[in-house]
Chain A
Amino acid sequence: MKKSYQAIVIGASMGGMEALKMILAQLPDNFSLPVIVVQHQMRDSDDFLAVYLNRHCAIKVKEACAHELILPAYVYIAPAAYHLLIEEDKTLSLSVDLPVNYSIPSIDVLFESAADVYGESLVGVVLTGASADGSQGLKKIKAYGGLTVVQDPNTAEAPKMPSAAIKVTQIDHILPPDKIGVFLRELTNDEG
């Protein structure tokens, strides 16, 4: 009996670029879910990360735009210096509010708003990072019946963030980054 999911949210900080590349490169270009990503960045970064990942992955990767409709087979990257949120009508929303956990974009902000919208149909993934951002958001995803995945801290360039997430929530799957992409693909029964 397989549950059907509607979206995947991923949070990453220090060391995230390589982990993201490893995971997203394993998703096919017709992947049946949207993937929405917060990677902490310098506040004056441009869209380099989205361009870089798009070049290395089959699935389409783009920077999130305000009010954009969320589509399957797309990876949306939060732009630097904006929080990224999900609206009830499955569109992306940006804000320039105060930082949360010293971060804008913040992983908690994305995860919490995604949990509100997708409830049990959401998959939350916390990757490497030297921050505690994402742990509260992942806790909410779990509380709303969603699926939680955390990168094995032993495989993380910065173990603090995955460890913080594991500390506050009973995590469903703790995996090394090279297994996470395959795992997400199998969740959807998509062919690789």
Chain B
Amino acid sequence: MEDKQLEAFEIDCLLGAILLRYGYDFRNYAQASLKRRIHNRLTLSNLQHVSEMIPRILYDEHFFSEFLCDMSITVTEMFRNPEVFKFIREKVVDKLRTYSRINIWNVGCATGEEAYSIAIILAEEGLLNKTHIYATDYDNQALAVAKTGIYPANVMQQYTENYLKAGGRQSFSDYYQARYESAKMKKNLREKITFANHNLMQDGSFAEMHLILCRNVLIYFNQTLQNSVLSLLRDSMVHHGYLVLGDKETLDFSSVANDFESVDKQRRIYRKKRLR
């Protein structure tokens, strides 16, 4: 058996072990990034073969939590791709205004930067009081950070620039309290966001959404998992609800392509069609 095949076999065994032991199913992750992350962990742990990780995963919960962290690494920021948020503010918000209650789902929220960004937009548009934002991830460590709403002060400069490019109308510093090296998001934003554990690989729908942000989540999944997640999102939305993907993602190759219409191609904003 070639080394390459052997390693593919080892990765299958590892993912099987993780599923059986901890219930996390990474078998439908896109292989290239997954493999890279596994190799990084292998090097950091001074191990040679992927299969050597299996006993560590099975018997050492701390090792597994590190692995989980590796798998959920996402580099995010507030108002990432500010033009997307500007578009939401200028074109989507007026449609949301017509609802008596607004539900927003931020899928794969990681440490929460995007959830706070959308909360700020709605606050400035006078809609935050009738809005609830559900921000979910499978990584409890990231969620813990998100719930505190505390970020390093040195990134606030970049976030301020993004905020202004996204059409921000006030001073970004109105939204946080700076203290020493950190900045804590204000309570009126935090209390409108429910950060909760939700695993796209196994959990279902939990509310009817008017806007779903699912940016740079699907890039890590293979076609099968993408399609099942997209079906879940579609079924979690009102008719004419909005779906926002990452700026290099598209519904074009997916099984739900016909269930949505493109609102803005470049910014990857879609709207659910009235079905049947």
Q: Which residues of A contact B (CB under 8 A)?
A: 63-69, 79, 82-83, 85-88, 93-98, 104, 109, 112-113, 116-117, 119
Known A65-B249, A66-B219; 19 more pairs at CB < 8 Å: A63-B248, A64-B248, A65-B250, A66-B248, A67-B219, A67-B226, A79-B247, A79-B248, A83-B33, A85-B30, A85-B33, A85-B36, A87-B32, A88-B31, A93-B30, A97-B36, A98-B75, A113-B36, A119-B4
Name which residue of chain A comes closest to B249, CB basis: A66
Chain A residues positioned under 8 Å from B167 (CB to CB): none
Q: Which residues of B contact A (CB under 8 A)?
A: 4, 30-33, 35-37, 73-76, 216, 218-220, 223, 226, 246-250, 253
Q: Evaluate contact between B248 and A116: CB separation under 8 angstroms.
A: no
Chain B residues positioned under 8 Å from A112 (CB to CB): 36
Which one of A67, A85, A98 lies within 8 Å of B253 (CB-CB)?
A67
Q: How close is B158's CB to chain A, nearest CB, in angstroms?
A: 10
Chain A residues positioned under 8 Å from B226 (CB to CB): 67
* Residue from B36, B74, B216, B223 having most chain A Cβ neighbours under 10 A: B36
A147 to B8, CA, bound (A): 24
Q: How close is A114's CB to chain B, nearest CB, in angstroms?
A: 9
Chain A residues positioned under 8 Å from B247 (CB to CB): 79
Q: Evaluate contact between A97 and B73: CB separation under 8 angstroms.
A: yes
Q: Evaluate contact between A96 and B32: CB separation under 8 angstroms.
A: no
Which one of A63, A79, A86 lies within 8 Å of B32 (CB-CB)?
A86
Q: How close is A106's CB to chain B, nearest CB, in angstroms?
A: 10
A69 to B30, CA, bound (A): 14
Q: Evaluate contact between B216 and A96: CB separation under 8 angstroms.
A: yes
